[in-house]
Amino acid sequence: MIEKDIDVICIGFAAQDIVMLGIPQDALLRDSVTARKTEITSGGDANNQAVVLGRLGSRTALLVKLGADAMSDSIYSELEKEPVNLSFVQRSAEVQNLLAICVCRDDGQRSFLLDPGKNYHWSQEEIADSILDRTKAISLGSLFHLGKLDTGDGEILFRRAKERGILTFADMTADIGQIGPDTVKGIYPYTDFLMPSLTEAVYITGEREPERIARFFLKSGVQNVVIKLGDKGCYFKNLKEEFYMDAFSVPVVDTTGCGDNFVAGFIHQVLKGASMRTAVRFGCAVGAVNASQAGAHHAVENEAQIEKFIQKSI
């Protein structure tokens, strides 16, 4: 029997983030503006999830493709400092990683300016059985930015995972490629936990109320639905349980990566066998801590930090 030496594999993309704080809303209408602070760091949904999961104590591996240029060297050198298994990372001169300029206003909300890059997506054929056999869970970060994994390959990958008893988690992002809300529906029957934001879920379902959105996904085959509500917290529903969880109140510096941080915190607790309420509360706490600093994964240090934050916030 193959040893499960990995708790979770995060599959998706890594990016170079340039985070600029204190940018006015009308910045693009001006000749020039000055940022209050700038951070140059790695980012991307799978990257952020993996880093935070590793810091929380989950045995985490990252499955991303990186280029061979200076920007990719910077991403990789950051990852080498983290408690993340990088043995599945592929590097190629054919890959150009995504570059995201995260422009943050003083209220912590942000917009992205993107250079989309190329050739960093995975197909399910590239993810060997020998990789899946080593893990307890896989997380896709995120649907609508996964190339072939959005258009049929994700369904096959998750089906292979379920045949091996692997837990499946899927985050979502905006459909910037306009592939259409129904494109990823084949993955739902093989998804244990689907974790869209409210905006993303409205786009998929056409519904606006979390309860109706969750019913749509459950009828489509998803086992557990977690809808991220931003500063309103979170909504959870499966066939047995349903609840809202309030957000934690923190001075917001930067909301970049808060959704990824929530996902990481939630997965970490699920893998520990926690109740859904405990897992959702912990995820909300991880997202809140992340919002207190600039960057997509710099604020979270370890599990004890989050537990202390929760206790102080009760």
**Minimum mean pLDDT among 102-116, 216-230, 235-249, 256-270: which range?**
102-116
- What whole-number percentage of the chain has pLDDT above 90? 89
Which region among 5-9, 32-36, 102-106, 205-209 has the lowest average model confidence (pLDDT)?
Answer: 102-106
For residue 39 the two structure tokens come to 């951070």
Q: How many CA atoms lie within 13 A of 205 on its CB side?
A: 23
**What is the per-residue pLDDT for 311?**
95
Query: Could you say which of 2.40.128.20, 1.10.3720.10, 3.40.1190.20, 3.40.50.720 is the CATH number of the domain covering 6-13+45-65+83-92+118-313?
Result: 3.40.1190.20
- pTM of the full structure: 0.96
Q: What is the mean pLDDT of residues 29-34?
A: 93
107 pLDDT more than 90: no
For the stretch 242-273, pLDDT in tens is 999 999 999 988 888 999 999 999 999 999 99
| Start-to-end CA span in the chain (Å) | 44
| pLDDT tens digits, 273-299 | 999 999 999 999 999 999 998 888 999
d(CA 298, CA 289): 9
Q: Does residue 109 carry a pLDDT above 70? A: yes
For residue 1, the model assigns a pLDDT of 63
At residue 286, the pLDDT reads: 98
Q: Where are the domains of the chain?
A: 6-13+45-65+83-92+118-313
Pairing mode of beta strands 37-43, 15-21: antiparallel
